[in-house]
A and B are shown apart, each in its own frame.
Chain A
């Protein structure tokens, strides 16, 4: 039975004397106007530091701990070879501003990776610079802006069309790039309403941002028509690759007509999620978008690899240096371990696993909204049924109850077009047995909640802490975002 560690581990400042340095005063060469008088940091013995963090890690849950089917996040197994390779001092100790003659090895890896990603997406060129998926989205939106500007239409084409089922990052990215966001509704099958799209596009359309398969895990069957409608109206098609794991080696966004595609290497290409990051969000583009790609790109002139800054119409620099390099190297490792067949196998199994899990759920408690006949892809969305909701059980309660079994909850309350949504993505690296186990847990949690709603509202019991008071956490009167209050003995 699952019992997460409960260390009650103190804060670092509670473990130490919290004091200024005892020796070494500030040298006279530091101007007196800037001389630091007080430097208060905890001073903790090394062994205690290690115990502190090992204990904290034991109060955390990762893919290596158990099933983690967080929808849209593709929590698959991260091959360990990559850990060893990125610890190589030939990467660790490599300064980004070294002359290219001294960095040929890493540039070759990056160059080859950019070629692989272009092949996988059906694009013609790749920028490895974006640090995360949302960063890739911003880069893509800025490229659309640059292309529209280049056509002299920036004063009129100000709208980006985004389905109501999209991730929040899409509208946020479009808005940061200066666009007005136009939301289009989903139809009864959870897909883009093609008629609504037709009446939405026009002279103001700069482009569309589309996640395929969408956040319900359903493929946009009218994808070719959607892209055509947008392009004929003079806009560009942007593919949010958050869900590309479903399609690796099966279909390519470039072949569907998309101009810009971002990838999440920490999802699709098995690089670790790091508790929130670092990820990497490379952007692959079609021929017509190449001239706007951010600088630098990694190139090969037949003799040597180099960084190309000479792209006159480029949107410019979007981040310091060249990207999250050690994350990029991990993705390279993944692609080289799997090859074309292995990537396709991963996609197919991810899709099978998701449909298998869906088939095992007790539909009395978990309804499957939208597209009854559409097969799901890498993920699916279930709705906690009214039968449970009417008993006073919330989706949140179900999520918390799951934690007591030593598994992570799915994404909850998303997409916004489904009330009481559970968005579930098991990935290809869970075994059938683990899928069955997760289904059993989901069903059992629902049954128990139905029988005893009061108990489920008090879950979880087996985690490091019981249910967290989130209202108090964000309330202006009780908000505490650093330990200075504790230092002063106020808490």
Chain B
């Protein structure tokens, strides 16, 4: 049998008929004899003719050439996915065939490598966040946040949920989709219009009877929630949980969320060596305190350390599986099965390569770049940067004195600069306000070029 692709073995006609005979049919079509005639496709699928590997590579290459990336463009977009350099060694590891062509380690004895790596990933996340139990990944930050809130609802047994008005708009939307079937009451807690921080007096007034408050630190405006501990105290007093969404790299400078009373931490792990990839695959970080009432309700796979039965050797395996869908079915804590394991291995490799010194230095470089940018931009006429007075890490708001931010952005794009996110689309009260992000991938000269172009455009 000649085959069309090299992915299916070719064989002689004799060999094929030997196999068919063994199976007890005259042809492969007989194996489909139980399909109703009406559903058998009468014609071939209408798809493009197959391409040879070499031709396909050049075809896709020519399509992708139409994308403009860093290099041709200066991009100052964050919005939950700040750009970061990916060390080459991360790719070396995530492209190890034994890792990337394996699946969920259902047979732990032959999958110790992936299991140990995921255990180490969980440990690193615990080290960074101060939490005691991390799972081995969720799809992304937004779904992790949504699942964390659903978990809080199960733990607390009531359905009033508080969301900081200054958290990521896309996260808010995903949370709303995930909560809709539960008939949840979602209450937004205002932010302060001077600092950009959460308004604690508003929180105080709304916290009664809520199961949780979801905040982000830094929040969507890049501002650090320095009163997070007070927010935690308010929520805890009313019997709710604090869920915090974090930027894992910022945690090299910022207190672990455990130290300001956080019960569940979520965040975007894609920034740890995952590349941008037009937004995905991402890596949902999910961790909580070791409180049994929380751990029992956690979603996702958790890896534990144990030994072999003979107790002679350390070993790793999936644990606490009685929470999961393959055992608990409709009573499971979540439906998640496939997750983002390889992204977790990449994030672990990234953190291992950097270590505490490297991560601290990286965070400092980012902090310094962003603060340099705010200084240069604030020197421009009619530009208020940062607009919110709250301390920031890598991202800050810029308010323009005159109208016409859309035009300014268009003019900058013509100059091959994407300056940031126009906030008015999601925050109608924030007219003429831009959110720009600066990380280690931006050179000082890039920031200067941004400032100069902006000066030209607005004058």
What 1/0 flags go to B175-195 for Cβ under 8 Å of A? 011101110000000000000
Assess the B126–A50 pair: CB atoms within 8 A: no
Assess the B306–A470 pair: CB atoms within 8 A: yes
Known contacts A95-B81, A474-B320; A21 and B360 CB within 8 A of each other = yes
CA distance A338 to B133 in the complex (A): 44
| Residue B23, interface by CB 8 Å | yes
> Which residues of the partner chain B approach A349 to less than 8 Å between Cβ atoms?
3, 8, 28
| Residue A34, interface by CB 8 Å | yes
Assess the A30–B97 pair: CB atoms within 8 A: no
Min Cβ gap A253→B in Å is 9
| Residue A184, interface by CB 8 Å | no
| Residue B228, interface by CB 8 Å | yes
- Kindly name the residue among B44, B46, B330 whose own CB sees the greatest number of chain A CB atoms within 10 A: B330
> Is the interface on chain A under 10, 10 to 19, 20 to 34, or 35 or more residues?
35 or more
- Kindly name the residue among A19, A95, A134 whose own CB sees the greatest number of chain B CB atoms within 10 A: A95
Q: Which of A14-51 contact B (CB under 8 A)?
A: 16, 19-24, 26-27, 29-31, 33-37, 39-44, 46, 49-50
Assess the B330–A171 pair: CB atoms within 8 A: yes
| Residue A324, interface by CB 8 Å | yes
CA distance A412 to B108 in the complex (A): 13
Across the two chains, which residue of chain B brings its CB closest to A251?
A: B39
Q: Which of A356-405 contact B (CB under 8 A)?
A: 356, 359-360, 374-377, 399-400, 403
| Residue B31, interface by CB 8 Å | yes
> Which residues of the partner chain A approach B140 to less than 8 Å between Cβ atoms?
131, 319-321
Q: How many residues of B contact A (CB 8 A)?
A: 199
Known contacts A108-B63, A429-B7; A31 and B46 CB within 8 A of each other = no
State which of B5, B89, B141 has its C-beta within 8 Å of the C-beta of A49.
B89
CA distance A142 to B174 in the complex (A): 12
Assess the A24–B93 pair: CB atoms within 8 A: no
CA distance A266 to B338 in the complex (A): 10
> Which residues of the partner chain A approach B339 to less than 8 Å between Cβ atoms?
132, 276-278
Known contacts A23-B357, A323-B280, A481-B303; A102 and B91 CB within 8 A of each other = no
Min Cβ gap A453→B in Å is 16
Assess the B109–A345 pair: CB atoms within 8 A: no
State which of A109, A464, A466 has its C-beta within 8 Å of the C-beta of B310.
A466
| Residue B402, interface by CB 8 Å | no
Across the two chains, which residue of chain A brings its CB closest to B117?
A: A56
Assess the B280–A62 pair: CB atoms within 8 A: no
| Residue A308, interface by CB 8 Å | no
What 1/0 flags go to A199-242 for Cβ under 8 Å of B? 00000000000000000001101011000000000000000000
Assess the A61–B253 pair: CB atoms within 8 A: no
> Which residues of the partner chain B approach A256 to less than 8 Å between Cβ atoms?
39
Assess the A469–B109 pair: CB atoms within 8 A: no
CA distance A112 to B324 in the complex (A): 35
Among A83-91, A282-290, A442-450, the stretch that binds chain B is A83-91
Assess the A58–B113 pair: CB atoms within 8 A: yes
Assess the A98–B113 pair: CB atoms within 8 A: no
State which of B70, B253, B308 has its C-beta within 8 Å of the C-beta of A469.
B308
The 3 closest A-B pairs by CB, nearest first: A321-B279, A178-B181, A339-B50
**Besides A34-B226, A320-B141, 20 other A-B contacts (C-beta < 8 A):** A11-B120, A57-B96, A64-B98, A90-B64, A92-B86, A94-B277, A106-B64, A131-B282, A172-B332, A175-B335, A219-B35, A251-B41, A275-B114, A278-B338, A321-B140, A336-B50, A343-B47, A355-B31, A463-B109, A479-B320
